[in-house]
Structure 1
Amino acid sequence: MTRVLDYFSTLVADDDSLPLTEAALALAQDAYPDLDLQGTLAELDALILRLQQRLPREASIKQKVALLNQFFFRELGFSSNLNDYYDPDNSYLNRVLKRRRGIPVSLAVLYLEMAGQIGIPVRGVSFPGHFLLRVMTPAGDVMLDPTTGHSLSESEMIEMLEPYVAKAGEPVGRALRLLLQPATRREIVARMLRNLKTTYLQTERWQRLLAVQQRLVILLPDSIEEVRDRGFAYARLNYLRPALEDLEHYLGDCPDAGDATLIETQLQELRQRAQHNDHE
């Protein structure tokens, strides 16, 4: 486990050189410890080579996008896994590549890799509830749905956004402009991990959840909330000493946090359990 996390730490150490596809694929090492990472990247490279060989020499951005959409969605058959949206395999790129099924953010990572290799200027967008792609064309930016390749109109995006903005009481048009900013590669990997976090919390798979939390703490070193949540995962697995360390660290940094009383109660219980274990 330490070796896998050391490798991930190296990949995500620096924003400028963070290799998105490799870092996203590395997440699958938790569920698939025998994963041939370089072999999987080579499979993806082989698909990209097939695409490059079809590309007309002077193709415009618009032509390239049309060619990639034809290849990615129709020929290869990538699409959203609507039958089992919360299957963790939808977030593991080795499985997404094999099954041609994923969720918006995992499909977007593969699309971004292919698009980048054929010279399409495209960025990911961390839109609420549905990750999007933003293609920069001479005629203006186009927003694409990474599950279909469909280009989204402003009214479609406003409709998608309404359930999220209605709660906050913000004007939808203003919120839309703010939410269409490109995501960094670190933010994209964090979104993938948080999807897995939600899945493993709901299914109470604590060992898998801990693996995800370990990565989130590495990826987002300034997020003390992820340290707290790793402490909760440790506690669920009865790893009392590391649980105490993480939760004490959180309270030390955020003594006035909204959940400080709850954390203090949890700490008292963990200390009692640890003392009891020491005396056995």
Structure 2
Amino acid sequence: MNDDLQRLGLVDEDEIELDEAALVLAQLDHPDTDLAPYEELLDAIETRLDVVGQMAETASERAEVLAFVLGDEFGFAGDKDTYDHPDNADMIRVLDRRRGLPVSLSMLWVAAARRMGWDADLLDVPGHVLVLIGTEADPVIVDPFAGGVRVGAERIAALVHAFAEPDRAAVTQVSAMPNRAVLVRLLQNQASRAEKAGRGRRALEIYVRMTTIAPSTVHAWWERARLELVDGEVSAARSSLGAILEITRDPTAREKVSETLEALQGE
């Protein structure tokens, strides 16, 4: 297992630098790639923000600076033409192509803002990812996938309504995503696309990464166990299911795991 990957699973939440962590994850698929040019690009973005944003004090002004530097100067934009391409969730390729998914572009925006000491978080919106610039007292919500356009309450409400599940309680608010959850969201995009493309082992590899950097994520362990069973790795699946019992007290989840383990007896 990659040492950098294991370190991501051990560091405190606040120590995770989203852009650097995303590069570490991407390098797993590009082991011969030198990260120095990509780190220099991130530094160059920071340098331009420092110059252009010297007088930016409000959240609105800072959002404008981020849109100008990342969008207009460096050319980052949402990939609307080949949205589902795996490159859009691979930070090395995102930096190469200046194109990405909502989550990968939002990670760049938030990481760049934080380098400046500005308050910024990714917002977990159903079916999308947005960025909050500023604090609750001075908030601005933008959409990096759309070049940093402002997003108002009506647009957020429309997204929530569009992705509401019939049998579940309505979502009444969106929340900032912890750093580790952001990395899981990025990897989930990779795993879903891999499995959709019929690449089950690739998806399994990504879920292994997910459980390494976020070992308390029940969903990742369950999906890992499912794919291990598909691959005939019964012993590994038992271990993954056992990990779920160690990290959750949820009675429904525990019952489901216990029933699955019982069904696997003798295999």
Q: Do the two structures share a fold, i.e. TM-score over 0.5?
A: yes
Assess if the C-alpha contact under 8 Å between 2:211 and 2:220 holds in 1: yes
The alpha-carbon deviation at position 138 of structure 1 amounts to 8.9
Q: Secondary structure at the match of 2:121?
A: strand
1:100-249 paired onto structure 2 within 5 Å: 100-136=98-134, 140-147=138-145, 148-165=147-164, 167-168=166-167, 170=169, 175-176=171-172, 178-179=173-174, 181-247=175-241
- Cα shift at 1:137: 6.0
1:133–1:145 Cα contact (<8 Å) kept: yes
Corresponding residue for 1:94?
A: 92
TM-score by length of 2: 0.84
| Aligned residue type for 2:85 | D
Cα separation, 2, equivalents of 1:120 and 1:103: 23
Unmatched tracts of structure 1, length 5 or more? 273-280
Cα root mean square deviation, aligned = 2.7
Give percent identity, aligned residues only: 27
In structure 2, how many angstroms separate the alpha carbons of the residues matched to 1:16 and 1:138?
A: 19
Q: Normalised by the size of structure 1, how large is the TM-score? A: 0.81
Counterpart of 2:64 in structure 1: which amino acid?
Answer: A
Q: Give the partner amino acid of 2:68.
A: Q
Runs ≥4 residues deviating over 6 A: 251-255
2:17–2:111 CA contact under 8 A, matched in 1? no
**Post-superposition offset of 1:196:** 1.3
Give the 3 Å change call, closer, same or farther, for CA 258–246 of structure 1 in structure 2.
Answer: closer
* Structure possessing the higher radius of gyration over alpha carbons: 1
Contact kept? 2:46, 2:112, Cα under 8 Å = yes
How far apart are 1:188 and its partner, in Å? 0.7
Residues 48 and 69 in structure 2, CA contact (< 8 A), matched pair in contact too = no
Aligned residues: 260
How far apart are the structure 1 equivalents of 2:107 and 2:45? Answer: 14
1:82 paired to 2:80:
yes
Structure 2, gaps ≥5 residues long? none
Aligned to 2:6: 9
Contact 1:108 1:131 (C-alpha < 8 Å) held by counterparts: yes
**Who is 1:59 aligned against?**
56
Query: Contact 2:123 / 2:129 at 8 angstroms: preserved in 1?
Result: yes
* Contact 1:133/1:143, CA 8 A, preserved across alignment: yes
Which digits, 9 at most, give the CA deviation of each residue in 1:167-225, with x for residues without a partner? 24645xxx34x31x211111111111111121112112123212211122123322344
The offset of 1:71, in angstroms, is 1.9
Rounded to whole Å, the distance in 2 between the matches of 1:48 and 1:251 is 43
Whole-angstrom CA distance in 2 between matches of 1:107 and 1:249: 32
Match of 1:68 in 2: 66
Partner of 1:20: 18
| Greater RCO, 1 or 2 (C-alpha within 8 Å, sep 6+) | 2
CA shift in 2, pair 1:213/1:157, >3 Å: same
